[in-house]
Structure 1
Amino acid sequence: MSGNSASTYKDLDAIVLGAGACGLMCAVQAGYLGKKVLVLEKNDKPGAKILISGGGRCNYTNLYASHQNFISENEHFSKSAFAQWTVQDTISFFETYGISGQEKTLGQLFPTTNKAKDIIKVFTDICEDFGQSIRCNSEVQKVISVENGFEVTFKDSVTGNEHQVYAPNVVVATGGLPIAKMGATDFALRLARQFGLNLTSTAPALVPLTVTGKDHDWYEQLSGTSIFSRVSNHKISFDENILFTHWGLSGPAILQISSYWRPGEKITIDLLPDSNIVDLIEEERNHSGKKLLASFLEKFYSKKFVEAMKKYLPVDKNLASLSKDDLLSIEELIHQFSVKPAGDKGYDKAEVMRGGIDTSELSSKTLEAKKVPGLFFGGECVDVTGWLGGYNFQWAWASGFVIAQNI
């Protein structure tokens, strides 16, 4: 990593803002093409968000990633990038540098070493080999158009000195609004506005949902309880675990649906998605009608959860004495558990930002701003938001690759 003074950065092909997944991939791919870039990173190390992803293990792609796993006002926009840089390209790229993947649930690929820092090391090593400069502790103050390119002013947060650098291209890969304590800001959105580009509305995504009011205590008492469920709204459904928390609901299925949820809407949870609870009760009571509903439900759920169900269900009745109305209540609660979240836990707990730079402002083939030649946007700041489980990394790698071809 370079600690050169700014005056030594001559003949740059591009200045890359942000040393996250998109910015690092862009720098590396530019190096393969003999292009020289300077990467400016606000934090004291590159790849801050890579380091915490997947619990520090980094689920660096998903075997099933396609444009259909992404939310955008233009669902077709990401097709070109994913055609240029495929999941297989990601796998091959990391394998070339000694990182092979192991599949966990639902196509998520983690390095066999289970260490996110190994992913970052691949990029920093290649950048060093190519002489690409990654300058950390460098906060960008402004970006202005000058003749045949851009002037970028940045401040060295260690010395306090300001520097100006020039390049014909600027790549904005500064991420979205989560997570402020890791250096996230609205820089990309402000810069887009400065250059007259439209934004789509932004919100936290892949984020836990909150429950307040009269039901809050019921959720709180279940904190830590995890149940495999089908969570759905009018747009989509996900089959994964939910997790009850002190503030409401989390877990993979909730994080997934949160990207599609809007304030004021309800979500429906099927707490036993692969069976019909009434059929199972009928079958059981043919053998053992005296069994209490509570004992029967403990075959599927924890004691704590069954105890909490007392509020809604006759768990102390035996199966033989359950009425039609009882069975209807049980079926509705188990298969159509309805929740109207009060809100979400915000950007500090969100994995990604939904929305961002309007895709209609960018070329889908190059990710260059149509109105501002030489200005490129990639990664999370663009209105392309992936599902949980490595999808957003695949977009970051693909967009970094595409931009590198065109700077």
Structure 2
Amino acid sequence: MDADAIIIGAGACGLMCAVQAGYLGKKVVILEKGSKAGAKILISGGGRCNYTNLFASDEQFISGNKHFTKSAFTQWTVADTVSFFETYGIRGKEKTLGQLFPEEQNAKAIVDMFTGLCDDFGQEIRCDADVTDVIRGEDQYTVLYQRNGKEYRLTAPKIVIATGGLPIPKMGATDFALRFARKQGLNIVETAPALVPLTITGKDEDWYAQLSGNSVFVEISNERISFEENILFTHWGLSGPAVLQISSYWRAGESININLLPHEEIADLIEEERTYNGKTLLSTLLNRYFAKKFTDALGKFLPLGKTVASLTKSEMETIHSTIHLFKVKPAGDKGYDKAEVMRGGIDTAELSSKTLESKKLPGIYFGGECVDVTGWLGGYNFQWAWACGFVIAQGI
């Protein structure tokens, strides 16, 4: 045997698993396809790394089994994450909505912390190692991989597959976990880009494009869920936190509702203004709540040049529906190149929720993004990865 376990993937889950295994005196070898460990960690949060969320619970995750994450999050809590990072000098600072970033350091410091701990524990990280197959023996597994044009093999009784999902192929994203699981007869929940910008085409394309760069605080919703955050207009459609959030719950062909003034009622604002000064133009009133460029763009739908006193009942209905019930029907999304995570993955019914070990393949563990567990934007997916790494380390 070459190690107690072989970890495939040096991302958040794989690195945490290696460190936690080190605490337990277990020897692991990490095989990483890319040229460096933690590549996706390094680009997260604009290089700052939103490494957890203070409000993380099983409620902020999409999965075929909404209760699947409970066991992992009981074993490794947000408080455990905060304490773990603080132990190694990385103190968190809350930005918004519970998002925790390093107070003084950046994403590189987090990766350096993990790789340094791996060195301390004697855990080996082999980069540029492209795993081609995992072969099952009587009491061990053999991992075949290519490195620098040569073929290698490693053996261990336990294998951890933490290769992530399909987003950002240029960062080394791979479908190895899904291919291996399918080959072994495990069920895969249909995958799709998540936390991803949405595109607009057709007759409305130019209207969105002219607003490129404008950001508006909204309530965005569909039949499943709603979020209050900013949307960002782009030359190809919509992005920003609110859109990324709703994208995980959006399906092709569906419409999305946007309330452009979630904490106000436009009819009440107009009525108040009529009482104060009926000669105020509708455009003047809207400019108090929106950037002028956005108000001007609303002129496609609204009688901006009319005074509030002269608005008809029909016009008031149009204003209400435009401001509070703005409907968008995206043409699609920007795909895995721009997605932050993958929705779907290895069916949770195939895994033990307590250990993340495969029920059909004893000694094989799956963790992180390749599993059918997808968190909201804002540090939730990192919390899932850390919890997976801890839980798996207990069993390998």
Same fold flag (TM > 0.5): yes
Instruction: Please show how residues 314-353 of structure 1 align to structure 2 within 5 Å.
Output: 314-353=303-342
1:30 & 1:285 partners in 2: Cα distance? 69
Q: Does residue 45 of structure 2 align to residue 84 of structure 1? A: no
- Shift in Å, 1:337: 0.3
- Shift in Å, 1:147: 2.1
1:293 & 1:150 partners in 2: Cα distance? 71
- Shift in Å, 1:96: 0.2
Q: Which residue of 2 aligns with 1:303?
A: 292
Q: Which residue of 2 aligns with 1:59?
A: 50
2:183 & 2:160 partners in 1: Cα distance? 15
CA RMSD of aligned residues (A): 0.7
Aligned residues with identical type, % of pairs: 69
Distance verdict in 2 for CA 1:122–1:237, change over 3 Å: same
1:21 & 1:336 partners in 2: Cα distance? 40
**Aligned partner of 2:125: which letter?**
I
Q: Which residue of 1 aligns with 2:134?
A: 143
8 Å Cα contact 2:34/2:129 also seen in 1: yes
Deviations 1:243-268 (A, max 9, x none): 11111111000000000000111110
Deviations 1:56-90 (A, max 9, x none): 10000000000010000000001000000000000
2:177 & 2:241 partners in 1: Cα distance? 28
SS for the counterpart of 1:333 is helix
Q: Which residue of 2 aligns with 1:218?
A: 207
SS for the counterpart of 1:294 is helix
- Shift in Å, 1:11: 4.1
Q: Which residue of 2 aligns with 1:372?
A: 361
8 Å Cα contact 2:209/2:236 also seen in 1: yes
Deviations 1:333-392 (A, max 9, x none): 000000111111100000000000000000000000000000000000000000000000
SS for the counterpart of 1:105 is coil
Q: Does residue 99 of structure 2 align to residue 103 of structure 1? A: no
SS for the counterpart of 2:378 is coil
Q: Does residue 65 of structure 2 align to residue 68 of structure 1? A: no
Q: Does residue 9 of structure 2 align to residue 26 of structure 1? A: no
**Aligned partner of 1:28: which letter?**
V
SS for the counterpart of 2:154 is strand
2:57 & 2:206 partners in 1: Cα distance? 40
Runs of 4+ more than 4 Å apart: none
SS for the counterpart of 1:317 is coil
**Aligned partner of 1:101: which letter?**
G
Q: Does residue 327 of structure 2 align to residue 359 of structure 1? A: no
Q: Does residue 266 of structure 2 align to residue 277 of structure 1? A: yes
**Aligned partner of 1:384: which letter?**
V
Deviations 1:74-131 (A, max 9, x none): 0000100000000000000000000000000100000012410011111111110100
Q: Does residue 85 of structure 2 align to residue 94 of structure 1? A: yes
1:226 & 1:114 partners in 2: Cα distance? 28
Q: Which residue of 2 aligns with 1:125?
A: 116
1:42 & 1:109 partners in 2: Cα distance? 29
Q: Which residue of 1 aligns with 2:41?
A: 50
Deviations 1:169-217 (A, max 9, x none): 1100000000100010111100111111100000000000111110001
Q: Return 5+ residue gaps in structure 2 as ranges.
A: none
SS for the counterpart of 2:36 is coil
SS for the counterpart of 1:230 is strand
Q: Does residue 228 of structure 2 align to residue 239 of structure 1? A: yes
**Aligned partner of 2:181: which letter?**
A
Q: Which residue of 2 aligns with 1:292?
A: 281
Out of 234, 238, 244, the residue aligned to residue 249 of structure 1 is 238
Q: Return 5+ residue gaps in structure 1 as ranges.
A: 1-9
SS for the counterpart of 1:273 is coil
1:345 & 1:374 partners in 2: Cα distance? 37
Q: Matched residue pairs, number?
A: 396
1:113 & 1:330 partners in 2: Cα distance? 46
Could you tell which deviates more after superposition, 78-87 or 284-293?
284-293
Q: Does residue 30 of structure 2 align to residue 39 of structure 1? A: yes
Q: Which residue of 1 aligns with 2:195?
A: 206
8 Å Cα contact 1:58/1:114 also seen in 2: no
**Aligned partner of 1:139: which letter?**
D
**Aligned partner of 1:331: which letter?**
H
1:319 & 1:47 partners in 2: Cα distance? 56
SS for the counterpart of 2:149 is coil
**Aligned partner of 2:67: which letter?**
H
1:174 & 1:11 partners in 2: Cα distance? 20
Q: Which residue of 1 aligns with 2:183?
A: 194
8 Å Cα contact 1:14/1:167 also seen in 2: yes
- Shift in Å, 1:291: 1.2
Q: Does residue 147 of structure 2 align to residue 179 of structure 1? A: no
Normalising by structure 1, what TM-score? 0.96
8 Å Cα contact 2:2/2:154 also seen in 1: no
1:284 & 1:122 partners in 2: Cα distance? 58
8 Å Cα contact 2:161/2:367 also seen in 1: yes
8 Å Cα contact 1:293/1:316 also seen in 2: yes
Q: Which residue of 2 aligns with 1:5?
A: none
Could you tell which deviates more after superposition, 372-381 or 190-199?
190-199
Q: Does residue 383 of structure 2 align to residue 394 of structure 1? A: yes
